[in-house]
Structure 1
Amino acid sequence: MKAKTIKAYSIKDIIKEINRIISNDFKPTLAIVFLSITKDWKVISDVLDKKDIVVFGATTSGEFIDGDIEEGSIVIMLLDINPEYFKSVFLETGTETTFENAKQIGLIGKETFKNPAFLIVSGWLTEEGENIVEGITEGSGKDVTIFGGMAGDDLSLSGPMVFTKDKSSDKGLLALIIDTDKIEVNGIATCGWKPIGTTKTITKSKGNIVYTIDNKPALDMIIKYLGVDYNFDSGKEIVTQIGAYYPLQLERENVAPVMRTAMLANREDRSLICAGNVPQGAKVKFSLPPDFDAIETVIEECNELKDEHQQEADALIMFSCISRHLSFGILMSEEISQVQNVWNAPMVGFFTYGEFGKSKTGKHEFHNNTCCLVALKEK
């Protein structure tokens, strides 16, 4: 399996790049397409479809390619993988629930391959992250491999999209099902965040909305506890970077904590709207702003993945939370480039609104503020 990456800032230029890179020696069958929501995915999909290339696509809140961070661009990984080794499935939440769609994808995977793995991207389904993982697991089995990310929309919060060929939706669930008897699929979900302070309790929540922590309004708790100063007079619901800098760590026994980022704050009821469900009664800690130690932890866990499971890779796909970009700042490029250097293979990725993957000590689940890296290698 060969993989090649290309990028451009206009539809015209990316079409030129597609035509330039395809040759008698390289005839791709699959395209991983990540792009700004301002770009016309339909034109790109049509061009690729006419060349018999399957499209696995999502809009982003920033893209990266081979260690470089881009904004407002189009990045594509083209792979010449045998079409019999993968299957693409697109379903949309509507008549059927997200859980039911995810279960159907799991069932299709199990029927298609003896040992399937799932790469997934989803649209505006922030409250459905756990349902996606649970649905695929229900359909395919508890030991299934699931990695991916929720699409972004350049932080406009207007509705990210997933797309393939002539289908797209901001409520879509797109899966790339891979035959692991033919293609090795290994990955890691890692964040490097350090907890701070004492354990606290989510005393009132519903879905992804946290109302009180230790019986105090969630927003006020963060402001007072962390000494954050913010002007909330601009509107009822405001985008806040509080969650990017001070995400919650949901504590669990004997496994790594799972991160939850506050994407919005409501100044009326002082609640936090998180990028994933936060169960009432959950035990949480706040997190310290990141430094080089966080990056070192991510690189260390990627090296462990390489040493223990996958020495070489033909291609790398990375899903990293937009909150990491907001909080890491210029350090983000250091993390991405160092991750690619672990395998020194072609890589594409994007900044997400949530991530799917397995931590070193956990199970496959839905994350925030986390880096999920997937390595592919033909057997």
Structure 2
Amino acid sequence: MIGRIFHSEHPSLWQAMEEIHLQYAADRQLDRFDFLLVGVSCRYPVWDVNETIAQIFDTENYLAFHATDAFDNEEVVHHGVTALFIRFERQGWVECFVQDGISQRKLEALENTALYLRERADASHLMIAGLCDAQLAFFIEKLSRYDIPMGNLQGGISSGFQVGEEIFTYQFHGGEVIRDGFVILTFHNVEMATSVAMGFEPVGVQYTVTEAKGYRIYQVDNHQSFAYTVEKLIRGIENFQPEYLWYTPLVVLDESNENLLTLRTFREKGKEWVEFYGPVKQGQKIRLSYGEGEQLLNADIKSASFLAQQLPDPEILFNFSCIARQYVLEDVQREENRIYRNFLHAPLFGFFTYGEIGHDPHKQSLQFYNETSLLTGLSER
């Protein structure tokens, strides 16, 4: 399997795609491609994406999705178009599963998705999803209750801007715009290896969530207001912005109350609640954490080393890295992909996400992550 990545930041979608087509045509490693994966900024007109790809690249074998920042190997492409061209050399091939309308047809969508994954248990899957009116995280949790393989699915939520009530986290495939769902790319006859990088160290006391709903925590330990706890944390900070708390995401502990299960990014603090970018539940054990760029990059090194042990010679790498993680990495955000490339020596594609989709360390359930970097390696059998 060969993967080649090209990008353009031209303000015209047509011209950006044309520039990428010229780069592809000039590349001597590729005389054809079997599948095209495209990260596209939401600054381009939604209704033009499918038609532009179809006309310029003359293919139906593609998936495009919104990405504010995408990865061309070690380069972070801001507000442009980034394209991964995939050519199989042996028996590999890609299949697309599209599920739209999950906010309205949750049960039907869950059953369809579970059946699809069960029937393709020996394949490798990448999920590119939308926010789906804040329902995608709950969908992932409910999908875990079905009898499906857990260790061969990884992905992220498309990232874009909000204009009015609309948040552009769409996918584009087969001439359709998927506004309330996701696409699963199924790689047949392809090996997958995955790893998770966090890097935030728990600090302070442990709490038990005693009142929570959706993405909000109201009370912890003996009816203590969690909003008051956070208020004490930010007291004295001038011109406070919620992004300042992205350096201190919430740690959700596993059932042993010792290991990190997932992270939750702060979104907003009200008078009686604190809201995050992912679900929180009554009974969960939580702690605050802290991290800086060096800590996160050290976690990336461990993640790359772990993946290299599972799949020593990956042919394509994917990095699904949280947009809040980008914020914390500050001026060293490019180092994350450089670390992965130095360890694994493969072309790297991916994007900064609005949430990451993976599995727990024991591959027993699917997880919705925040502020992580999910690294995936693929190699054709």
What letter matches 1:290 in structure 2?
Answer: E
The 1:162/1:98 distance shift into structure 2, 3 A limit, reads farther
What letter matches 1:329 in structure 2?
Answer: E
Alignment-derived partner of residue 235 in structure 1: none
CA distance in 2, matches of 1:240, 1:362: 33
Contact 2:357 2:367 in 1 (8 A): yes
Alignment match of 2:282 (pick from 280, 292, 296): 280
The 1:133/1:77 distance shift into structure 2, 3 A limit, reads farther
SS at match of 1:330: helix
**1:83, CA displacement in angstroms?**
8.8
Which runs of 5 or more structure 2 residues have no equivalent in the other structure? none
Question: How big is each residue's C-alpha offset from its partner over 1:134-181, in whole Å with a ceiling of 9 and x where there is no partner?
Answer: 42762x6244521001111147684121221312233121111222xx
CA distance in 2, matches of 1:94, 1:256: 29
Aligned: 1:14 with 2:17 = yes
SS at match of 2:260: coil
Aligned: 1:164 with 2:173 = yes
Aligned: 1:348 with 2:349 = yes
Contact 1:127 1:207 in 2 (8 A): no
SS at match of 1:257: strand
| Counterparts of residues 1-379 of structure 1 (less than 5 Å) | 1-10=1-10, 11=13, 12-22=15-25, 25-40=30-45, 42-50=47-55, 51-81=58-88, 85-94=93-102, 96-98=104-106, 100-111=108-119, 113-125=120-132, 126-132=134-140, 134-135=142-143, 138=146, 141-154=148-161, 158-159=166-167, 160-179=169-188, 182-214=189-221, 215-225=223-233, 227=235, 229=237, 231=239, 240-254=242-256, 255-266=259-270, 269-307=271-309, 309-360=310-361, 363=364, 364-379=366-381
CA distance in 2, matches of 1:325, 1:60: 13
Moved more, 355-364 or 313-322: 355-364
Contact 1:248 1:285 in 2 (8 A): yes
Contact 2:197 2:296 in 1 (8 A): no
**1:95, CA displacement in angstroms?**
7.3
CA distance in 2, matches of 1:352, 1:278: 19
CA distance in 1, matches of 2:354, 2:253: 21
CA distance in 1, matches of 2:62, 2:301: 30
**1:282, CA displacement in angstroms?**
1.2
Question: How big is each residue's C-alpha offset from its partner over 1:186-216, in whole Å with a ceiling of 9 and x where there is no partner?
Answer: 1112211100001012222111122233434
What letter matches 1:163 in structure 2?
Answer: F
The 1:246/1:293 distance shift into structure 2, 3 A limit, reads closer
CA distance in 2, matches of 1:137, 1:74: 36
SS at match of 1:21: helix
Contact 2:170 2:179 in 1 (8 A): yes
SS at match of 1:329: helix
**1:44, CA displacement in angstroms?**
4.3
What letter matches 1:259 in structure 2?
Answer: L
Question: How big is each residue's C-alpha offset from its partner over 1:31-74, in whole Å with a ceiling of 9 and x where there is no partner?
Answer: 12112211245544334435224222221232222111221111
**1:115, CA displacement in angstroms?**
1.0
**1:94, CA displacement in angstroms?**
5.0
Contact 2:251 2:287 in 1 (8 A): yes
CA distance in 2, matches of 1:6, 1:188: 25
Contact 1:133 1:366 in 2 (8 A): yes
TM-score normalised according to structure 1 size: 0.87
**1:279, CA displacement in angstroms?**
0.3
**1:107, CA displacement in angstroms?**
1.3
The 1:38/1:2 distance shift into structure 2, 3 A limit, reads same
How many residue pairs match? The answer is 366
Counting aligned pairs with the same residue, the percent is 18
**1:377, CA displacement in angstroms?**
0.6
Contact 1:127 1:277 in 2 (8 A): no
What letter matches 2:111 in structure 1?
Answer: K
RMSD: 2.6
Contact 2:300 2:339 in 1 (8 A): no
What letter matches 1:167 in structure 2?
Answer: E
CA distance in 2, matches of 1:300, 1:55: 33
CA distance in 2, matches of 1:297, 1:52: 39
**1:270, CA displacement in angstroms?**
3.7
